[in-house]
Amino acid sequence: MSSVNRRSFLKTSGLLSAGALLTGTSVSAADSDNKPGKTPHTKFAVNVEMWWKSLPFEERIKEAAKLGYPALEFWPWRNKNIEAVADLTQSLGIEVAQFTAWGFTPGLNDPKNHKAFVEEIKASCAIAHQLKCKLMTVVGGNDQPGMTQEEMHQNIIKGLKLAAPIAEENDITLILEPMNIRVDHKGHCLYGSGPSIRICNEVDSSHVKINWDLYHMHITEGDLCGHLKEGIDAGQIGYLQLADHPGRNEPGTGEIYYNRVLKEAYDLGYRGYVGLECRPLSDELTAAKRVAAADVW
């Protein structure tokens, strides 16, 4: 082969390989048996609130298992048939990575809600045991009229300190999720890694960590790999989630190069689940293949 032809061949091969990564059409053994949820490095937990939205909840769990995902995540447990979910996940061999125990309202950032918060954490721990789940998301809350951000953050700390002994006793980790206020959650009181790390440092519990959503962090502060290292060095990352931006769709549809970010998490020693809190751009199989392609490096 001449040097000119060889250069042309290498260039073409490189473009084909890059295209395969971006479209998720092939490179990984995960696609060989049509189970793209079986990935070589990262363990993904598909969010069954955002995937297969047209199906009944329990059917979504079956679809996640069909794609080979080792775990799933969901939002509030109330108004769901938890006994059926527990039986189904255990029979399918798919884990519940985490669910939401306390959402946006009433705000954890208002002390008048702390008593209800503690009682809900107690109830949610019982659900977590039923589901054999070790993580529960808690949300700080939307801005409270008349309170500064610092006051709201101090109230979050106070609330988490009340709940921490319950989490420790039950060996369930509460994962506090900072949001972004530029796109999705305007008026929310907690965003960015710095304040979240500080809150968890002040709570000082082995069972209170951060639900580190890379999508929210990207929009809020950028430098995903640098901040990720800071969070892991601080010992305060309890769970990772992702979505691409713009659009909050799966990796490979926006501007975030998740191959690099997921490799960084892996190299830093993160071995927990990564929640797929993203909306499939077209269909779930295509989205799953794009997710699998992001785990190739």
Taking only the tens of pLDDT, the chain with its 297 residues reads 544 444 443 343 444 344 444 444 444 444 545 899 999 999 999 999 999 999 999 999 999 999 999 999 999 999 999 999 999 999 999 999 999 999 999 999 999 999 999 999 999 999 999 999 999 999 999 999 999 999 999 999 999 999 999 999 999 999 999 999 999 999 999 999 999 999 999 999 999 999 999 999 999 999 999 999 999 999 999 999 999 999 999 999 999 999 999 999 999 999 999 999 999 999 999 999 999 999 999
Rounded CA gap, 142 and 54, in Å? 29
**Cβ neighbours of residue 138 under 8 Å, at least 6 residues apart?**
100, 101, 102, 108, 121, 160, 163, 174, 175, 176, 177
- What pLDDT score does 11 carry? 41
Q: Where are the domains of the chain?
A: 27-294
Share of the chain above pLDDT 70, in %: 89
Question: What pLDDT is attached to residue 34?
Answer: 82
Q: Is 129 exposed, middle or buried (0-12, 13-18, 19+ CB in 10 A)?
A: middle
pTM above 0.85, yes or no: yes
pLDDT given at position 33: 58
Note the pLDDT tens digit of each residue in 127-173.
Answer: 999 999 999 999 999 999 999 999 999 999 999 999 999 999 999 99
Cα separation, 111 vs 80, whole angstroms = 28
pLDDT, tens digit (0-9, with 9 covering 90-100), for 67-107: 999 999 999 999 999 999 999 999 999 999 999 999 999 99
- Which two three-digit tokens encode residue 101? 């125990």
Cβ atoms of residues 121 and 102 within 8 Å: yes
Residue 83, burial from CB neighbour count under 10 angstroms (0-12, 13-18, 19+):
exposed
pLDDT of residue 2: 43
Q: Taking Cα atoms as reference points, which of 174, 154, 155 lies closest to residue 164?
A: 174
**Integer angstrom CA distances of residue 153 from 27, 187, 288:** 45, 14, 37
Considering the domain 27-294, what is its CATH architecture? Alpha-Beta Barrel (3.20)
d(CA 54, CA 177): 27
